[in-house]
Amino acid sequence: MQRSFNHISLQSILCHPRNSKPIKIAHLHRTMTTEAQAAKKALRKEIKTRLSSLDESEITTQSEQAQKVILNLDQYKQAKSLSIYLSMPAAEAQTDLLVRDALRSGKQVFVPFLYAPSQNFTAGGGKQKKVMDLLRLDSESEYDGLSKDAWGIPSLGADSVGNRVNAMGGKGLTLAGDRVTDRKSEDDVGGLDLVVVPAVAFDAHLDRLGHGAGFYDAFLTRFCSQGKRTKPYLSEPPPRKQSIYSPVANPSQVGLCLTEQILGQEHKIPTAEWDWKVDAVAVGDGSVRS
């Protein structure tokens, strides 16, 4: 199946009757990338306008509905280890209910931490100035004590990350040149059963529009074995990882969003080869798209 950019397939461009001269693939790639970026920018602007009309109570109500969808999924109930994003106070689905339930249920909860890699790291078609690791949040009391960043997002302190268990199975940051690969117990074995994914928008094809930095796409490509894109996750939970830094089974990926972040059938998010679909989307109206 061919990928398309903004409804324009590679074959349709190459075979268009007006294209009587050979087209250089590099130029074609740049053209499609430019078109895709413009289309994504327009979609982000549209979603921002939609979200600006929501008040705090509406966001809270929708967030509770969407989180309850995930709480009732077998993939959540059976998960021993999962990643949950820590939410902004506005303009996206909140995750407080999920974080607290997971910690109280004894699940291992991993949350995002962004940092500059120690060496050049290329992903998503370009060099990444910052990368994301998923680090373990140890308790609900620690969660309550997290400081908030400039966006109002509860965030791990930079001075604490070196000794934290990461989702890869070791400790510390995996691309900072100082990771610690030994572990104290089998509880530190890496792996994720479920990743709760944020987005600016999702479409009917379960494609995801992020903020443009590519943090989740780059992490999932590093994390998952062979970078597979076709994944029948929702039929059964994936097997657990067995060793540190070895390829791991792909976790279930479930999007979480407000109703206003679901695109209609008339919209298709432009995608590239490094973009990851989700397996399902929990929506603020209490529905699940899959």
Q: Can you tell me the distance from the alpha carbon of 19 to that of 29, in angstroms, rounded to the nearest whole number?
A: 15
Q: How confident is the model at residue 191 (pLDDT cuts 50, 70, 90)?
A: confident
| Residues near 114 by beta carbon (within 8 Å), at least 6 away in sequence | 130, 131, 132, 215
pLDDT band at 190 (very low <50, low <70, confident <90, very high): low
pLDDT digits (tens, 9 = 90+) for 253-269: 999 999 999 999 888 99
Least confident window among 73-87, 121-135, 179-193, 202-216: 179-193
**CA-closest candidate to residue 213, choices 136, 151, 138, 145:** 151
pLDDT higher than threshold 50 for residue 176? yes
pLDDT band of residue 177 (cuts 50, 70, 90) is low
In this predicted structure, the answer to whether residue 151 has a pLDDT above a threshold of 50 is: yes
Mean pLDDT rounded to a whole number for the chain = 79
Q: How confident is the model at residue 134 (pLDDT cuts 50, 70, 90)?
A: very high
pLDDT number for residue 168? 86
More confident residue, 155 or 213: 155
pLDDT score of 24 more than 50: no
pLDDT at position 141 is: 97
- Residue 126 has what pLDDT? 59
The pLDDT score that the predictor gives to residue 53 is: 92
Report the alpha-carbon distance of residue 87 to residue 197 in Å, rounded: 11
Mean pLDDT computed over 257-286? 92
Q: Determine the Cα–Cα distance for residues 2 and 25; give it in Å rounded to an integer.
A: 16
pLDDT exceeds 80 at position 211 = yes
Q: What is the pLDDT of residues 68-77, one digit of tens each?
A: 999 999 999 9
- pLDDT bin (cut points 50, 70, 90) of residue 51 is very high
Q: DSSP letter at 132?
A: E
Which residues lie across from 10 on neighbouring strands? none
User: Closest Cα partner for 284 from 112, 95, 111, 143?
Assistant: 95
DSSP 235: G
Q: Give the DSSP letter of residue 21.
A: S
Q: What is the pLDDT of residue 193?
A: 93
